[in-house]
């Protein structure tokens, strides 16, 4: 499996699809890994070079000592592009992956050709809720919160119909490094991009889940209204819209990046 040894972190990634195609990069949610995007890859691999990666503290990437900042997470991605000699990408991030996308949109020049921000917000949660989760994970590990958090990722209907996927996502979150998870929680707790949204430069599409309790449609509309020229799409899903509604998500993404 391919790894990139960057400055202070080892990033696990996959690069597949059309060798000479434009690069489409995916960034996963908190407590997930690059396999979160498995259902979407076939929709793009005939036309695009698809880049997925495990962010620091997740999956098979290393876990540097925390806490982390959004700049740390954004710079990991930029360093990965430099390592792979990729000059520009279309970037799609969901949840914390979308927050990384916001940071990239503000701080990165030509490397981000188009930007898709899914199920994310300029400010997610409150300091109190993040501190409560950080305290619990530090004390009892990620397995202690896995069932509760995954229960917020999907609608009850999807949870009932797709028990194998639910079990897989619970297992992924349960196996996530507690230190890496907490490090990313701190990055999310401390971020607030609202005042900087007008500085996002790439053409942007915002995707919200109609039933998302983590980053509800009101957060998506805030991004849409404050990012110049942003487009808004709403799917009948909860938080992990790319997993719950992969066909609809892929169709919206393809129409935008094409």
Residue 1 predicted with pLDDT over 80:
no
Predicted local confidence at residue 69, as pLDDT: 98
Q: What range does the domain containing 233 cover?
A: 3-257
34, 53 Cβ separation under 8 angstroms: yes
Please tell me the total number of residues recorded for the chain in this structure: 258
Predicted local confidence at residue 116, as pLDDT: 98
Number of domains in the chain: 1
- What tokens were used for 229? 């020229």
Q: pLDDT tier at 6 (50, 70, 90 boundaries)?
A: very high
- What tokens were used for 222? 């805030």
Predicted local confidence at residue 110, as pLDDT: 86
Predicted local confidence at residue 74, as pLDDT: 98
Q: How far is CA 249 from the centre of its chain?
A: 14
Sorted by sequence, the CB contacts under 8 Å of residue 243 that are 6+ apart come out as: 36, 39, 153, 154, 165, 169
Quote the percentage of the chain above a pLDDT of 90. 97
Q: pLDDT tier at 256 (50, 70, 90 boundaries)?
A: very high
Domain of residue 13, CATH code: 3.40.50.1820
Helix, coil or strand: residue 51: strand
How large is the average pLDDT for residues 164-182?
97
**Separation between Cα atoms, residue 42 and residue 63, nearest integer Å:** 30
Exposure of 77 in the CB half-sphere (CA atoms within 13 A): 34
pLDDT digits (tens, 9 = 90+) for 93-144: 999 999 999 999 999 978 999 999 999 999 999 999 999 999 999 999 999 9
């Amino acid at each position: 499996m391919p790894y990139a040894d960057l400055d202070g972190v080892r990033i696990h990634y996959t690069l597949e699809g059309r060798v000479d195609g434009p690069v489409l990069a995916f960034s996963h949610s908190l407590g997930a890994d690059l396999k979160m995007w498995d259902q979407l890859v076939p929709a793009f691999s005939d036309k695009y070079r698809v880049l997925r990666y495990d962010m620091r503290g997740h999956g098979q990437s290393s876990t540097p000592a925390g806490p982390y900042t959004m700049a740390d997470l954004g710079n990991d991605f930029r360093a990965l592009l430099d390592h792979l000699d990729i000059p520009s990408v279309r970037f799609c991030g969901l949840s914390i992956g979308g927050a990384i996308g916001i940071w990239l949109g503000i701080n990165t020049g030509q490397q981000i050709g188009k930007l898709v921000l899914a199920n994310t917000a300029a400010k997610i949660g409150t300091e109190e809720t993040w501190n409560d989760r950080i305290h619990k994970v530090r004390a009892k590990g990620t397995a202690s919160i896995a069932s509760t958090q995954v229960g917020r990722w999907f609608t009850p209907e999807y949870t009932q119909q797709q028990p194998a996927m639910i079990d897989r996502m619970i297992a992924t979150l349960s196996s996530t490094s507690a230190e890496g998870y907490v490090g990313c929680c701190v990055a999310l707790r401390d971020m607030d991009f609202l005042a900087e949204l007008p500085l996002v430069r790439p053409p942007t599409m915002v995707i919200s889940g109609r039933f998302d309790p983590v980053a509800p449609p009101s957060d998506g509309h805030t991004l849409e209204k404050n990012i110049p020229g942003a487009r808004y799409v709403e799917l009948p899903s909860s938080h992990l819209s790319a997993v719950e509604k992969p066909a609809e998500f892929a169709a919206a993404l393809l129409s935008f990046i094409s």
